[in-house]
Amino acid sequence: MSTKEYVDKVIAEVKAKTAGETEFHQAMEEVLNTLVPYLDKHPEMIKAKILERITEPERTVMFRVPWVDDKGEVQVNRGYRVEFNSAIGPYKGGLRFAKQVTLGTLKFLGFEQIFKNSLTSLPMGGGKGGSDFDPVGKSDAEVMRFCQSFMTELCKYIGPNTDVPAGDLGVGGREIGYMFGQYKRIRNEFTGVLTGKGHEWGGSLIRPEATGYGAVYFLCEMLKAKGDSIKGKTIAISGFGNVSWGTAKKAVELGAKVVTISGPDGYIYDPEGLNEEKVAYLLELRGSGKNIASPYAEKFPGSKFIAGKKPWEVKCDIAMTCALQNELKGEDAKALIANGVKYVVEVSNMGCNAEAIELFHKANIPFAPGKAANAGGVATSGLEMAQNGEHLYWTAEEVDRQLHNIMINIHDACLSAAKEVGQEGNYQVGANIAGFRKVAKAMMDQGIV
Ligand code: 2IT
């Protein structure tokens, strides 16, 4: 059997035993398909069934999360933690609270996290969790009661050397605070069991900005590799949450023109570009808890709201997905290419579908996959863990400096891994191989576990 046939067989078997987990299938196929040239040179990994093992989470917990809403009615959600791989460190990854969350969603995110965390060069395994709890329109008291109930169960499975969750969609500083408080109360210990904490109680400076800053640092390296620079470039970004905010903040600071943001309701086109005031307004928009982007257009005349559409139809040099999985599909890629896009950076996890990625490759447009470009968030979580372990705080400059170095190293690791398998300039292949080989080697060293 050729390596390609072997990989196809593993993909088919994984799909058959995880029926219905479509987002996980997409993420798993995307990674496994790119590993063929690497596995060709490593038959010992095929023999040790590394692919069969790495696609099966070490452990998954699913649990009931009962809570009482403001009207006194009992609500029941489902909580999850997928502890995917601990070969190179404790499970690490965010918690996502969103209505549409399923086991398949969290398995895709947990699977991506294995390779992303490996790319950071920090000792972190891969995990992800969350709930189908919908934070939209919930009161502060409801969010607190939900978080406390969620943590009452989750606290049995996590710990600073076991599994360290963080935020993701629907989980920010407020939710991390409520969950940390409950963990501390039940376990009677003050430890770095979560990252993204408030700075007063163990959180790292720059963690809120880190995902967006890191993505822009990665973009700057891509530009540099082509003898180009970010200054004066027109950038279309999606979303208006934490990741979009950090991305816009750093891009604007470095002299780019960010002309779009978006929400589930549509997108904002701001031809003058965002400035410091508009970037700061994103925090207000998110804080409103309404999950819509349209109020931006009322606040800033000169910008307009386009209902029900995505920002990928505007003319831009650089497109950066900062919202959700599969938010940029084949037809969006075609529109971007027709409008002359020069670089695409996936900042959301699996922001582009397979067809879109293929189109960017065919058009010779440098494409950065999320697991490389958005790794700055979890990398800074790793730096938060290091500070907690040392019982120290580092300055913002120190954290930012380390984040910047990590992103430069990830960029270079992607390019050199791609080159080794004869696919020069292919960040997707490079990220997957560079992320995979470290975890696979660790698994080989640790025996059949
Ligand atoms: O997707 C991600 O990398 C995150 N949501 C951050 C995870 C973390 O542990 O900081």
Rounded (10°) CA dihedral 418, 423, 426, 430: -20
Q: Is 381 in the pocket of ligand 1 (CB under 6 A)?
A: yes
CA nearest 407: which of 436, 374, 431, 438?
A: 374
Measuring CA to CA, which residue among 93, 371, 356, 97 is closest to residue 214? 371
Neighbour tally for 100: CB within 10 Å = 10
Q: In the 8-state DSSP scheme, what is residue 72?
A: S
Report the nearest atom of ligand 1 relative to the CA of 96.
5
How remote is the CA of residue 377 from the centroid of ligand 1, in Å? 6
Angle between helix 103-119 and helix 22-34 axes, rounded to 10 deg: 30
Would you say the CB of residue 351 lies under 6 angstroms from ligand 1? Answer: no
- Among 119, 322, 347, 381, residue to substitute to test ligand 1 (most atoms within 8 Å of Cβ): 381
The one-letter amino acid code at 77 reads N
In which region does residue 399 sit, left (phi positive, over 0), alpha (psi from -120 to 50) or beta (all else)?
A: alpha
Predicted pLDDT of residue 257: 98
Residue 189 makes CB contacts below 8 A (sequence gap 6+) with: none
Contact yes or no for 66/74 (Cβ under 8 A):
yes
Our CA dihedral for 322, 375, 112, 163, rounded to 10 degrees, sits at -120
The CA-atom distances, in angstroms, between 99 and each of 78, 169, 241 are 10, 11, 17
126 pocket-lining for ligand 1 (C-beta < 6 Å): no
Quote the ligand 1 centre to 129 CA distance (angstroms). 10
Cα Rg of the chain, angstroms = 21
Whole-model pTM: value is 0.98
Angle at 270 between CA 273 and CA 168, to 5 degrees: 85
118 lines ligand 1 (CB under 6 A): no
Selecting among 92, 107, 116, 128, the annotated active-site residue is 128
CA-nearest of 133, 348, 116 to 243 is 348
pLDDT at residue 30 in the model = 98
Mutate to test the pocket of ligand 1, among 164, 193, 378, 380 (most ligand atoms within 8 A of CB): 378
Ligand 1 near 380 CB (within 6 A): no
Report d(CA 81, CA 129) in Å as an integer: 4
The protein residue with its alpha carbon nearest to ligand 1, atom 3, reads 378
Q: Which two tokens stand for residue 136?
A: 């939209």
Q: How far apart are CA 369 and CA 411, in angstroms?
A: 11
Q: What are the structural domains of the chain?
A: 59-190 (3.40.50.10860), 210-368 (3.40.50.720)
> Using CB atoms within 10 A of its CB, is residue 226 exposed (0-12), middle (13-18) or buried (19+)?
exposed
- The angle at the Cα of 128, spanning 379 to 61, to the nearest 5 degrees, equals 145
Mean pLDDT for back-to-back runs of 10 residues, the chain (449 residues): 98 98 98 98 98 98 98 98 99 98 98 99 98 96 98 98 98 98 98 98 98 99 98 98 98 98 98 98 92 97 98 98 98 98 98 98 98 98 98 98 98 98 98 98 98
Judge whether 249 counts as a catalytic residue. Answer: no
Q: Which atom of ligand 1 has the smallest separation from the CA of 109?
A: 1
